[in-house]
Structure formats: C-alpha cells, structure tokens
A = this chain, B = another copy of it.
Amino acid sequence: MVDKLGDDERAAALAGLDGWTAVEGRDAIAKTFTFKDFNAAFGWMTRAALIAEAMNHHPEWFNVWNRVEVTLSTHDVGGLSALDIELAKRMDALAGG
C-alpha cells in the first residue's frame, strides 16, 4: 500500500521534478508535453501507457494534436504519493529520449 506524501516529502519531490506544477485547489501535479506532431504525441502516450499499466497507476491526460496535458494524483490516498513522482519521472524520461 502506498502512502500519501507528507508536506516535506511533497515539497522535496516537486523540487526534483522538471516542469511539473502543483494543481490549484487539488492535491495533484500537472505538466503539458508538446511534441512535433500527433504521431510523436501518440507514440509517447503509448509508451507512457505501457508504463502506467505495469505500475497499475494511471494518468489523467488530455490530448489534442501534438499536445498532451497530464495530471497525476493517487485516488486511493486522496493526494500525491510516491507513485505519482515515479510516473512523472518516467514520463519525462520518455519525452527526452
């Protein structure tokens, strides 16, 4: 069972992420990824989906054309957990390579 991050853990985790921001009015983090075109965006989504399904931890995400807006939160704990931080980092790694 994963735990909700405490205030200090949360601050430290966010400081270690690149481009993710706290969502207003909700214990969640968000980032917008922009790609060259739909092909690149959906290829990235497929790779992220493979990771999310293996983690059994899924994003909320919105896509239009070359843009993907991702929001991460852990429903079971009502806020951010280590799973969100891990998925955020793995999404960043996919987008960079």
Chain A contact-residue range equals 20 to 34
Contacts of A61 in B (CB 8 A): 62-64
Q: Report yes or no: B53 in contact with A38, Cβ–Cβ below 8 A.
A: yes
The CA-CA distance from A46 to B62 in the complex, in Å, is 14
- A58, B38: Cα distance in complex, Å: 8
20 contacts between A and B (CB under 8 A): A38-B49, A38-B53, A39-B50, A39-B53, A39-B94, A40-B47, A42-B47, A42-B49, A42-B50, A42-B53, A45-B45, A46-B46, A58-B64, A58-B65, A59-B63, A59-B64, A60-B62, A61-B62, A61-B63, A62-B63
Q: Which residues of A contact B (CB under 8 A)?
A: 38-40, 42-47, 49-54, 56, 58-65, 94
